[in-house]
Structure 1
Amino acid sequence: MTSKTTKTALTPATHTAPPARFSHGVRKGNLLQVAGQVGFLPAVEGQPPTPAGPTLREQTLQALANVRAILAEGGADWDDVIMVRIYLTDTDHFAELNEIYNAYLDEQGLTQPPAARTTVYVGLPPGLLVEVDALAVLD
């Protein structure tokens, strides 16, 4: 009989419970999937989520920090990430996003080749400009 690998939900202390039936992150075996993260500041009990600010830079840096918190909760870091998806609300933000993303990964000290990345354009709730998810494989 084969043993089944346990699936573990990941919710770092910086996050509140999701508003619907999903996990912020899930680890199963050596795979870790981070759900889409927007630029909300760390959770404050009893208060609604608050965006990091109105700009693409503020929201992108916070969304990436939120992804990183879930990676860390699951025992991973950016070097373990093999796929990143970025969802933008405005096609005019693509060049600025690339600058922010590249600088962020440099600041994180990424030592391996960067992850594959897809960027798509979507509608998000009012005031939100960007969402980021990631897939990591741990050794």
Structure 2
Amino acid sequence: MKKEIIQTEKAPAAIGTYSQAVKVGKTVYLSGQIGLDPVSMELAGSVKSQLKQMFLNLRAVSEAAGGNLGDVVKLNIYLTDLSNFALVNEVMAEYFQQPYPARAAVGVSQLPRGALVEADGIMQIFD
């Protein structure tokens, strides 16, 4: 089995030494996405707008890999303020349907570009 590098212009270009995702067989490892607009490469303003853009970015990479957010089996969310946890649940419900993926939410002191939230995940493409 060989690995395939996933790249789409519908999500922000990598801002470091990583790929947007790597696909091995039917498993896709989604790199962390923050609320960057893929065209302007500017960070959305509020936590809610960053969450929405972050999930849009994850969706774009998922689709470029041949899947969709419904194929995500594990999601990791990193927050600079854990008091936004309820908002994560609210916005996530707009992009994911039950059964939801396994998930972790972790409080961190900082994220790239001053982002307030970031998410990465693992997707399994089912036929």
Asked if TM exceeds 0.5, the reply is yes
Q: Which runs of 5+ in 2 are unaligned?
A: none
SS at match of 2:32: strand
- Which one has a bigger Cα radius of gyration? 1
On the 8 A contact 2:73/2:123 being kept in 1, the answer is: yes
Q: How many residues align?
A: 125
The question of whether the paired residues in 2 share the 8 Å contact of 1:11 and 1:23 is answered with yes
The residue type paired with residue 24 of structure 1 is Q
Superposed CA RMSD in Å reads: 1.6
The partner residue of 2:73 within 76, 82, 98 is 82
**Match of residue 18, structure 1, among 7, 14, 27:** 14
* Contact 1:56 1:97 (C-alpha < 8 Å) held by counterparts: no
Q: Find the residue that maps to 1:118 and give its secondary structure.
A: strand
Instruction: Give the distance between the partners of 1:42 and 1:126, measured in 2 at CA.
Output: 14
Does 2:117 align with 1:130?
Answer: yes
CA contact (8 A) 1:40 1:50 kept: yes
- In 2, distance between residues paired with 1:134 and 1:115? 9
Give 1:21 shift. Answer: 1.9
Which residue identity is paired with 1:37? Q
Cα deviation 1:14-59 (Å, max 9, x = unaligned): 2454232211111010100110000000234xxxx2012x211100
Structure 1: which 5+ residue stretches go unaligned?
none
Instruction: Calculate the TM-score normalised by the size of structure 2.
Output: 0.89
What letter matches 1:87 in structure 2? Answer: Y
> Does the Cα contact within 8 Å between 2:10 and 2:61 map onto a contact in 1?
no
SS at match of 1:34: strand
| Whole-angstrom CA distance in 2 between matches of 1:19 and 1:91 | 25
Of residues 38, 57, 62, the one that matches 1:66 is 57
Deviation per CA, 1:61-82: give whole Å up to 9, x if none.
Answer: 0000000000000001122110
Inter-partner Cα distance in structure 1 for 2:36 and 2:114: 11
The TM-score with structure 1 as length reference comes to 0.82
CA contact (8 A) 2:7 2:61 kept: yes
The share of aligned pairs that are identical, in percent, is 33
Change in Cα spacing, 1:16 to 1:131, as seen in structure 2 (3 Å) is closer
CA contact 1:61–1:100 (8 Å) conserved in 2: yes
